[in-house]
Structure 1
């Protein structure tokens, strides 16, 4: 009802600075996480003619109070002569905020300084009801991965920090394909001990996929199409668990994983600054359609 709030977790400051430093002077574009506090969400729907329109889907069936969006774009090309202080509008499943070049510079500086920022939208010369866009820095993110359970042992993954894994090469056998789709990091005090080397995560995913590739058909036929691989590494400890549906994989698969994973994990210990490290990779075995 006339107010949009963009919440930025303080721990995402470095990512915001990357956006600021890599974007051109007129546009800042930020993707958003799913909002678990919202009772509805914007979606972009394509019709049979290839045209897109926006809908708001309600989770409760009741009148909407808080609607989540998937992104926000700040466009700093609004001319002062337009008569508007700023404009806010829904575009596809996100929010577009048009502001003047001067306000864009003030917004950039506020983001650099980790300061909250309020944008007043509407005509400059009327007393009509205004709309507001608030950019707020928050101490903690909303609960992450709430309701997600580990395929390894069925334990809750709430509080883990997850990111999608860019798909590399496919591992396929007998009409089945194994893909690593996501990695969850178990945090200490809401922080990773240090940035996880992307190459290390990628090598673990490749080693696991290589070891299980000959067994994809058997695994999928036995209902093990979603597999979790949890890896824990410290200076004096290396451990991994692999499972599906809340149960560990049968021993014959674990034996093959041993020979594939242990050299890779020990190689990752060569950089002690990234330790201790605990993460869980998620794999899916799907039908090969081509």
Structure 2
């Protein structure tokens, strides 16, 4: 906590890189980064403290056990490794995060030090090793760190940073578009936890998720090297959608349209949107308000895009305001 806490803003957060996992074995820890997540990693690294590099890891489906942090009755925490297969020795244990701290002094006698902290792993390294690690990540190269006493090979451990094959593990199994029933399985999506929301007439409309749809002739989702790069555009579109529909929330909810979809297309020869619910497009009296609010935002977004085409679908829910 003291290492990662931002005391100015009182925040304790870790950036996540999609598909990144941590494998812990006997005397070896591997941090595996999908090659197609390079831009996500760079964005997280560039925002980090120069002396500390910390990131959250995804659930490791290949591991046979996973670190968990459990609170005791006395309020203190301890770490356990929960095995998938009972009565079998653990081979690979997953971790929830990693921290590299560049605070280790060369005079300490250690090459580097590794330890389990809560449900993650911390590696203490020298400032010089931190510089070399960051440069290797920028160059998209594997990197290895030897941990232990400098003059004792026995008992040394190794930490490896490895770039692995592209991550295409998008699930969304059974998810369909509220606009036209299109399957969203295997489509890249991002959950929105603090997105746009507007309240009116005892109801609130809340943006909850965005899908980056895939064109028929493209292997990558609409040329998006990093969906996070479009966060400002998606936020502006979501806000405009909420503003346009806020006067209609009560009627929409009463008509059973509590889940809404907005599909925005930004291409060189096509800029537009589709909006719907329950597999049907919204009625014309809703679309007139959407046109006046959304179309200017979409056209501005199309002018600002540095890559494309982009087709994304935003999902919204209309909820009751609890008193």
Relative to the length of structure 1, the TM-score reads 0.78
Q: Could you tell me how far 1:22 is from its partner in structure 2?
A: 4.8
- Contact 2:222/2:308 (CA < 8 Å) preserved in 1? no
What residue is the counterpart of 1:76 in the other structure? Answer: 102
Q: Distance in 2 between matches of 1:133 and 1:70?
A: 16
Three-state SS of the structure 2 residue aligned to 1:269 is helix
What residue is the counterpart of 2:22 in the other structure? Answer: none
What residue is the counterpart of 2:183 in the other structure? Answer: 155
Q: Distance in 2 between matches of 1:94 and 1:248?
A: 46
The CA RMSD over aligned residues, in Å, is 3.6
What residue is the counterpart of 1:182 in the other structure? Answer: 209
What residue is the counterpart of 2:6 in the other structure? Answer: none
Q: Could you tell me how far 1:56 is from its partner in structure 2?
A: 4.8
Range that drifts further, 142-151 or 87-96 = 142-151
Range that drifts further, 262-271 or 87-96 = 262-271
Range that drifts further, 100-109 or 265-274 = 265-274
Distance 1:283 1:265, change over 3 A: same
Range that drifts further, 51-60 or 207-216 = 51-60
What residue is the counterpart of 2:223 in the other structure? Answer: 193
Q: Distance in 2 between matches of 1:257 and 1:9?
A: 39
Distance 1:248 1:20, change over 3 A: same
Q: Could you tell me how far 1:148 is from its partner in structure 2?
A: 6.3
Partner deviation per Cα, 1:43-95 (whole Å, 9 max, x = no partner):
44556765444455566778555443332210122234444332222323322
Q: Could you tell me how far 1:191 is from its partner in structure 2?
A: 5.8
- Contact 1:172/1:178 (CA < 8 Å) preserved in 2? yes
Q: Could you tell me how far 1:280 is from its partner in structure 2?
A: 1.4
Q: Could you tell me how far 1:220 is from its partner in structure 2?
A: 4.8
Distance 1:51 1:167, change over 3 A: farther
Q: Could you tell me how far 1:242 is from its partner in structure 2?
A: 3.3
Q: Which runs of 5+ in 1 are unaligned?
A: none
Range that drifts further, 203-212 or 11-20 = 11-20
- Contact 2:245/2:286 (CA < 8 Å) preserved in 1? no
Q: Which runs of 5+ in 2 are unaligned?
A: 1-24
- Pairing of 1:198-213 with structure 2 (within 5 A): 198-213=231-246
Range that drifts further, 135-144 or 221-230 = 221-230
- The size of the alignment, in residue pairs, is 288
Q: Could you tell me how far 1:119 is from its partner in structure 2?
A: 1.9
Q: Which residue, out of 279, 283, 300, partners 1:251?
A: 283
Three-state SS of the structure 1 residue aligned to 2:265 is strand
- Contact 1:44/1:55 (CA < 8 Å) preserved in 2? yes
Q: Distance in 1 between matches of 2:157 and 2:31?
A: 14
What residue is the counterpart of 1:136 in the other structure? Answer: 162
Relative to the length of structure 2, the TM-score reads 0.71
Q: Distance in 1 between matches of 2:285 and 2:76?
A: 48
Range that drifts further, 140-149 or 72-81 = 140-149
Three-state SS of the structure 1 residue aligned to 2:260 is strand
Q: Distance in 2 between matches of 1:189 and 1:30?
A: 28
Q: Distance in 2 between matches of 1:38 and 1:228?
A: 36
